[in-house]
């Protein structure tokens, strides 16, 4: 088991809902741990967001789940993260605070150079942003 921080289409109710992804692959349902934020800049790619980690950025809103290790390969596939290949999304580690507990999590930011010319989501919340478009 490990933790994952999700901030975009993997959030509950979104197109790549993490629990639905687990169910499609007959993997144990992720356990919701709680809300968290990561400092950065969130960008609108149209049908999904991309997070660039930036300590001077805004708190980017997301959720932390405890997941079965088998789900990592599914999430990597959704985000097109492959060993030895640098794509749009990067499989990385981040430490977040959930209700006073510090947790190490996997997450999927984007490379800084991938966001040139894209609109920044000032609120740092993909779900709220998507609902207003």
In DSSP notation, 62-129 reads EEEEEE-THHHHHHHHHTT-BTTB--SB--EEEEEEETTEEEEEEE--B-GGGGTTPEE-TTS-HHHH
Looking up tokens 């290949």, which residue turns up?
A: 85
Which residues 6+ apart lie within 8 Å of 102 measured at CB?
A: 95, 96
The yes-or-no answer on residue 86 being catalytic is: no
Angle at 112 between CA 131 and CA 93, to 5 degrees: 85
Indicate which residue of 66, 77, 79, 86 is catalytic.
Answer: 79
Distance CA 120, CA 100 (A): 29
Three-class SS state of 26: coil
Q: Which residues are catalytic?
A: 79
């Amino acid at each position: 088991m490990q933790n994952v921080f999700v901030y975009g289409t993997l959030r509950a109710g979104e197109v790549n809902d993490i629990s639905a992804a687990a169910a499609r692959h007959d993997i144990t349902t992720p356990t919701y741990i709680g809300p968290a934020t990561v400092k950065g800049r969130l960008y609108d790619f149209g049908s999904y967001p991309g997070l660039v980690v930036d300590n001077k950025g805004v708190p980017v809103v997301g959720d932390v789940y405890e997941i079965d290790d088998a789900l990592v390969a599914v999430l990597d596939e959704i985000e097109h993260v492959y060993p030895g290949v640098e794509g749009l999304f990067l499989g990385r580690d981040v430490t977040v605070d959930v209700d006073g507990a510090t947790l190490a999590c996997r997450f999927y930011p984007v490379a800084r150079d991938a966001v040139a010319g894209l609109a920044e989501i000032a609120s740092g919340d993909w779900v709220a942003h998507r609902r207003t478009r």
